[in-house]
Amino acid sequence: MTRLLLAVLVALSGVSAPTVAAAQQPIKIGIVTFLSGPAAGPFGVPARNAAELMAETLNAGTVPAPYATKGLGGNPIELIIIDEAGGPQKQVAEFRNLAQRVDLIVGYISSGDCLAIAPVAEELKKLTVLFDCGTPRIFEDASYKYVFRTGPHATMDNTSAALYVLERNPNVKSIAGINQNYAWGQDSWVDFEAAMKALKPGIEVKTSQMTKLFAGQFGAEISTLLSSGADVVHSSFWGGDLEGLVLQGAPRGLFKNHLVVLSAGEPAINRLGAKIPDGTIIGARGPFGPFAPDTALSRWFRGVFQERYAVAPNYASYKMAQGILGVKTAYEKAKAGAASPNQDQIIAAFEKLSFEGPGGMVHMSLGKGHQAVMDVAVGTARTVGGELRIVDVKRYPADRVNPPEGVKSEAWIKSGFKK
Amino acid sequence: MSSILAILFDGVVYSSWLFMMAAGLTLIYGVMRILNIAHGSLYALGAYAAATIAGAWLAAGYAPVGSYAMLALAAVLVGVVVGPLVERGLLRRMYGQDEVVLLLVTYAAFLMLEDAIKLVWGVESKLLTEPYSLPGNFHIGALAYPRYNLVLITVAIVTGLALAWALYRTRQGKLLLAVIHDREISAAMGINVTRVYLVTFTLGSMLAGLGGALTAPTIAVSPGIGVEVIVLSFAVVVVGGLGSLGGAALGALLVGVVRSFAVRYWPEAELFTIYGVMALVLIARPKGLFSAPEARKI
């Protein structure tokens, strides 16, 4: 009987809002990012590096204002890092496991993983901050209390690319696409095509190539694009596919004969450098990397990252740092009212929060205060003295390239960006 | 007309790439009755080794044309080092087991090799672009193609012919054919089957390495490149008939050219056409185009 009573008490104590951490106790953050597989090189490892760097510098109190307090409100940060590889089913199992070991989770690069994890986070009542995945569907098709996304979603990548293309080349008459044949590539092309059609009715779509993820060989696709006569070629390729497209397409004149838009091209800058042909339009999925504003925080982040890893941070690194700083801001805001804030208090503080990241201001203004928006920038690659530079950078304010609260991205683009 | 020619050329380039993989795969299956999933890792190893060796060659300032020899060296190294290691160290202990068990063993080898690659080369992609751009371009109609594609086609044809010659015209080849036909009788007739297995696996590994090494200059050599290629190669080998070299050649040509036309005229169905071809062939000939008749054993 006593055992039964004890069991009931233990169970009940789990139901009541758990305290995230007592004062000075380390706060355990689960970090989920690709450590193996094709997404590890371009995104996963740069994000892991940013997480480790941020935890270390926050614990040491060396991050510039407004983040100079040590750790999270004085509590040191402890990271538990796991690999995102293996697909959504495996990740759900890993998440259930991880959720028991940590106070909160920051993670997920793949949209498929985010879509699978969000409902499980809700079921387990575990504060989960999605830092990178792009699909707008997370908060457009559902509503979550325990899930936040501190990175902007993918709609603005392609609406800003379309705006940039047409502002600089108003006579564009036709477009073509080469994208990976899964949610990311398909959604990116749908958004770009719809945005171009909304901005310039009557624009012709010459061909839409949907290649298998990591196909590697694009000879026939490049021939088709070259023969299509399209003025603009859009691609949301990333990783090895992106590098392969540049390596195979550039010698054949793909970038010379067409205006090529690489909507997620920024991580390739560090890899390919001057091999990216002049005139290529580059996006960074937000104001990251070469598009980051010149602020003290931005300069500090770029400097310490470069010094430690001997390579510049790419957008995945910025977004991870941003996720952790979002958590810090929410935690400390909640802590201002409670000595040791519980999860519900942190969530209340996180909703509709505005905070500064190394890429600039982040506003949690969509998805009932759970989805971030940011300004975005697009630019053009140009090699100067053997080094790749991003020139003609144009910034677009967040509300110009994101749908208003409560409106789905696709419908908003098709409406001609109506507010 | 030049448009059709360009589509055919794209198809043949793709076929050449597929054939180099499929030839090794079908050879190993024919002799050893092993569906070698680790073939994908051997391809990846070839690509990584090529990027490293040829990259070092170019970085040292030697003549760029020598980088082609370095690609070949990478393939040979993969064959003679990793091939025997996998065959002697792992597969040899599993002979006599069911084909499904061996399939799982090679899958395990695939996973181990993928991790080994990650340990050695990390997760960053490796680039080796010089051999691709070095020979310059040629044109079919208005379309520019790197001449390197001709290197790929030539190597595939020469490899195919050399293999055919070695199999059908040399004593060792005929011994190998005897083992393909009937392992037990061959052993009873005094053929050293263990040695034949070792040579076959080494040769098959070398072909996979060659495929990877020649592909390296055209891609970003990155984790996971072996996965995509192994699935396609299996499709090609199944179309051609498991264990048939001619089948692998025809299967690769069929898949490559059909895919190339699909990319141009029906891009939504590109992937479907590859497996559509496979399904159609298997409906008409359940064991593939060139499957050898099997002797019924009593």
Tell me the shortest Cα–Cα distance from A267 to chain B, in angstroms: 12
Length of chain A equals 419
- What's the mean pLDDT in B144-165? 96
Share the mean pLDDT of chain A. Answer: 92
Rounded CA separation A215/B270 (Å): 12
Query: Mean per-residue pLDDT for A253-279?
Result: 94
Q: Is the pLDDT of residue B51 over 90?
A: yes
Residue B293 confidence class, pLDDT cut points 50, 70, 90: low
Q: Which residues of A touch B133 (CB under 8 A)?
A: 251
> Alpha-carbon Rg of chain B, whole angstroms?
19
Q: What is the mean pLDDT of residues B181-191?
A: 88
Give yes or no for B126 touching A (CB within 8 A): no
CA distance A305 to A314: 10
Q: Residue A130: helix, strand or coil by DSSP?
A: strand
SS3 A334: helix
Phi first, then psi: give them for residue A379, nearest 5 degrees: -150, -175
Count of CB contacts below 8 A, A vs B? 125
Mean pLDDT in residue range B25-51: 94
pLDDT (mean) for A12-28: 58
At residue A31 the predicted structure's pLDDT band, cuts being 50, 70 and 90, is: very high
Kindly give, in sequence order, each residue whose CB lies less than 8 Å from that of residue A369, ignoring residues fewer than 6 positions away.
Answer: A350, A351, A352, A353
Which among B10, B129, B229 has CB closest to A219? B10
Contact criterion met (CB < 8 Å) for A181 and B137: no
Residues of A in contact with B118 (CB under 8 A): 36
Q: Confirm or reject contact between A207 and chain B (CB < 8 A).
A: yes
Distance CA B14, CA A220 (A): 8
Q: What percent of chain A has pLDDT over 90?
A: 86
From the CA of B174, how many Å to the nearest CA of chain A? Answer: 36
Cβ neighbours for A91, distance < 8 A, ≥ 6 positions apart? A32, A84, A108, A113, A116, A117
Nearest to A215 among B6, B142, B228 (CB): B228
Report residue B184's pLDDT band, with 50, 70 and 90 as the boundaries. confident
pLDDT > 90 in chain B, percent: 79
How many Å separate Cα B241 from the centre of its chain? Answer: 15
Q: How many CA atoms lie within 13 A of A297 on its CB side?
A: 20
Chain B environment of A251 (Cβ under 8 Å): 132-133, 137, 144, 146
Contacts of B115 in chain A (CB under 8 A): 36
Residue range A238-247: average pLDDT?
A: 94
Q: How far apart are CA A21 and CA A40, in angstroms?
A: 31
Listed residue (A210, A177, A224) closest to B9, CA to CA: A224
Average pLDDT over residues A255-262: 96
Min Cα distance A309 → chain B (Å) is: 13
Q: Is A342 helix (H, G, I), strand (E, B) or coil?
A: strand
C-alpha A321/C-alpha A315 separation (Å) is 10
Query: Using 50, 70 and 90 to split pLDDT, how confident is the model at B297?
Result: low
User: Taking CB atoms and an 8 Å limit, are B127 and A240 in contact across chains?
Assistant: no
A173 exposed, middle or buried (CB, 10 Å; 0-12, 13-18, 19+)?
Answer: middle
Nearest of A160, A151, A155 to residue A136 by alpha carbon: A155
pLDDT above 50 (res A246): yes
Shortest Cα–Cα distance, B276 to chain A (Å): 16
Residues of B in contact with A244 (CB under 8 A): 218-220
Q: What is the sign, positive or negative, of the torsion defined by CA atoms of B14, B16, B17, B18?
A: positive
Contacts of A43 in chain B (CB under 8 A): none
Q: Kindly report the nearest CA distance between residue A143 and chain B, in angstroms.
A: 33
DSSP code string of A354-378: EEEETTEEEEEEEGGGTEEE--EEE
| Residue A204, Cβ density class (10 Å: 0-12 exposed, 13-18 middle, ≥19 buried) | middle
Residue B24: which of B70, B69, B67, B86 has the closest Cα? B86
Average pLDDT of chain B to the nearest whole number: 92
Structure confidence at residue B179 as a pLDDT band (50, 70, 90): confident
Q: Which residue of B has its CA nearest to A35?
A: B123
Best A207, A221, A224, A233 member to test B by mutation, with max B CBs in 10 Å, is A224
The answer to whether A235 and A178 are in contact (CB under 8 A) is: yes
Q: A72 CB contacts (<8 Å, ≥6 apart)?
A: A27, A58, A327, A328, A331, A332
* Residue B68 predicted with pLDDT over 50: yes
A252 to B143: CB separation less than 8 angstroms, yes or no: yes
**In this model, does residue B95 exceed pLDDT 90?**
no
pLDDT computed for residue A14 by the predictor = 40
With H, G, I as helix, E, B as strand and everything else as coil, classify residue A44. Answer: helix
Give the pLDDT confidence of A388-411 residue by residue, as tens digits: 999 999 999 999 999 999 899 999
Residues A327-335: what's their mean pLDDT?
95
**Confidence at residue A62, expressed as pLDDT on a 0 to 100 scale:** 96
pLDDT of residue A116: 96
Please tell me whether the peptide bond between A66 and the residue prior to it is cis, using omega within 30 degrees of 0: yes
Handedness of CA A131, A132, A133, A138 (dihedral sign): positive
A87 has a chain B CB within 8 A of its CB:
no
What percent of chain B is modeled with pLDDT above 70? 97
CA-based end-to-end distance of chain B: 56
DSSP 8-state symbol, A200: S
The answer, for A215 touching chain B at a CB cutoff of 8 Å, is yes
What pLDDT is recorded for position B190?
Answer: 92
Report the alpha-carbon angle A225-A161-B143, nearest 5. Answer: 15
Q: Looking at the predicted structure, is the pLDDT value of residue A40 above 60?
A: yes
Per-residue pLDDT band at A2 (split at 50, 70, 90): very low
User: Residue A334 CB: number of other CB atoms within 10 A?
Assistant: 22
pLDDT band of A358, cuts 50, 70, 90: very high
CA distances from A194 to A27, A198, A205 (A): 44, 6, 11
Model pLDDT, residue B111: 93
CA dist A361 and A396 (Å) reads 13
Inform me whether the C-beta atom of residue B118 falls under 8 Å from chain A C-beta atoms. yes
Q: Give the model confidence (pLDDT) of B5-36 as tens digits.
A: 999 999 999 999 999 999 999 999 988 889 99
Query: Which of A17-21, A128-132, B274-278 has the weakest average pLDDT?
Result: A17-21
pLDDT at B298 over 70: no
Which regions of B19-168 does DSSP assign to beta strands (E)?
A: 137-140, 143-146
| Separation in Å, CA of B261 to nearest CA in chain A | 8
What's the pLDDT score for residue B86?
94
pLDDT at B294 over 70: no
Q: What SS3 class is residue B253?
A: helix
Q: What is the mean pLDDT of residues A246-267?
A: 95
Q: How confident is the model at residue A5 (pLDDT cuts 50, 70, 90)?
A: very low
Read off the amino acid at residue A259.
L
Q: B125, B229, B271: which to substitute to probe chain A, counting the most A Cβ within 10 Å?
A: B125
Mean pLDDT over B82-102 rounds to 91
Q: How many CB atoms lie within 10 A of CB A320?
A: 31
pLDDT digits (tens, 9 = 90+) for A62-109: 999 899 999 999 999 999 999 999 999 999 999 999 999 999 999 999
Could you tell me which of A90, A76, A89 has the C-alpha nearest to residue A22?
A: A76
Q: H or E segment at A204? A: strand A204-211
Q: Which two tokens stand for residue A104?
A: 């909160």
Across residues A127-152, what is the average pLDDT? Answer: 95
pLDDT at A169 over 80: yes
Reported confidence tier of residue A338, pLDDT bands at 50, 70, 90 = low
pLDDT digits 0-9 by tens, A359-372: 999 999 999 999 99
ipTM of the complex, rounded to two decimals: 0.92
* B98-119 exposure pattern, b = at least 16 Cβ within 10 A, e = fewer: eeeebeebbeebbeebbeebee
Contacts of A110 (CB under 8 A, 6+ apart): A34, A39, A84, A88, A133
Checking if the pLDDT of A19 tops 60, the result is no
Tell me the average pLDDT across B189-207: 94
Q: What is the pTM of this model?
A: 0.90
Tell me: pLDDT of B38 over 80. Answer: yes
